[in-house]
Amino acid sequence: MPETRSGPVLHAPERLAFVQSLVRERAGIALSADKEYFVEARLDAVAHRRGLSGPNEVVRRLMGDPDGGLSLETVEAMTVQETSFYRDMHPFTDLRDVVLPGLLRASEAPRELVIWCAGCASGQEPYSIAMTLLDHFGSQTAAGNIRVVGTDLSADAVARARDGRYTRMEVNRGLPAANLVRHFEEDGTNWRVRPAARALVQVRRGNLLAPQAPVPVAHVIFARYVLMYLHVDARRAILDMFRRTLAPGGLLVIGATETLLGVSDGFERCLEMQRVWYRPRGRYA
């Protein structure tokens, strides 16, 4: 019997609870009870792609085979992909004016600096960093001394980020007109990041709760508006992984509305910059 859209679609409470548990276990995402309609909408999209009748059929199949491909697709569907170019702006100016100059002039400066965007969504953040590098650190960038690595759980998001193609609405969100002209080229009704910036960015799938870090070492980790969607246990595990991934002198930057207070005492704020920047406290203690 086709599912009705006249009321809540997940008719049995245990079905919502099953999805909440699955998503928390696989990705650390905390879906509260008031997110029922969000869950329904995302499951409805999965059902449409799979040719299923609706969210209830998706959940029934998940409960019968929680380790199959449908499970991964469902977890990916619950990720939040909200992003924009130069979001909040000040982390990029701090990166340009304070963080990278300090790392590049350090007495034991690394031969290659790695900037990791954890949860990069469709790529606007790593490309914002790439544009900053090209505009202000041309020689080091041209020599291959700095690279940007983006990771995301969603295969669709990773594909979009690798392609570097954005709609007019997307490039109008936070991207200065001068940067649009300098770093993008028209592609039909869309805009595509030029090859110079795309060459600096490597994007791949990565689950922050996976046993191994997506990159072996990073000097700067952008993890902005990622932790806020996760259960506190997942936040702690990921922050511990970040501490082990950061190179000596490395820094973590989080979202303007996020805090590590009460979550991790392994980091301390960098008082010389905006309050979103943190350094590991001690080494790996």
Q: Which residue has the higher pLDDT, 123 or 272?
A: 123
Residue (of 113, 115, 175) closest to 145 by Cα position: 113
**The pLDDT of residue 211:** 58
Domain with CATH 3.40.50.150 in the chain: 90-280
Indicate the length of the chain as a whole number. 285
Residue 284 scores a pLDDT above 70 = no
**The pLDDT of residue 161:** 97
pTM of the predicted structure, to 2 decimals: 0.87
Amino acid at 145: N
Helix (H) or strand (E) holding 119: none
Residue (of 193, 166, 230, 211) closest to 24 by Cα position: 230
Q: What are phi and psi of 119, to 5 degrees?
A: 75, 55
Buried b (16+ CB within 10 A) or exposed e, 218-229: bbbbbbbbbbeb
DSSP, res 227: G
Range 92-97, long-range pairs (CB < 8 A, 24+ positions): 92/128, 92/129, 92/132, 94/253, 94/273, 94/274, 94/277, 95/129, 95/132, 95/220, 95/253, 96/132, 96/136
Q: How far apart (Å, rounded) are the C-alpha atoms in residues 11 and 136?
A: 55
Domain with CATH 1.10.155 in the chain: 13-77
Residue (of 129, 43, 114, 47) closest to 83 by Cα position: 129
CATH architecture designation of domain 13-77 = Orthogonal Bundle (1.10)
Q: Which whole number is the average pLDDT over 237-258?
A: 94
Q: How far apart (Å, rounded) are the C-alpha atoms in residues 170 and 172?
A: 5
Query: Cα-atom radius of gyration of the chain, to the nearest Å?
Result: 20
Using CA atoms, how far residue 256 sits from 65, 178, 184, 230, in Å, is 39, 26, 28, 16
- The predicted-structure confidence for 93-134, as pLDDT tens digits, reads as follows 999 999 999 888 875 666 789 999 999 999 999 999 999 999
Q: What percent of the chain has pLDDT over 90?
A: 58
The mean pLDDT of the chain is 88
Q: How confident is the model at residue 66 (pLDDT cuts 50, 70, 90)?
A: confident
Instruction: Give the number of other Cβ atoms within 10 Å of residue 258's Cβ.
Output: 17
- The predicted-structure confidence for 29-47, as pLDDT tens digits, reads as follows 888 878 888 888 899 999 9
**CATH class of the 90-280 domain in this structure:** alpha beta
Q: What share of the chain is helix, strand, coil (3-state, %, to 5)?
A: 45, 20, 40
**The pLDDT of residue 108:** 63
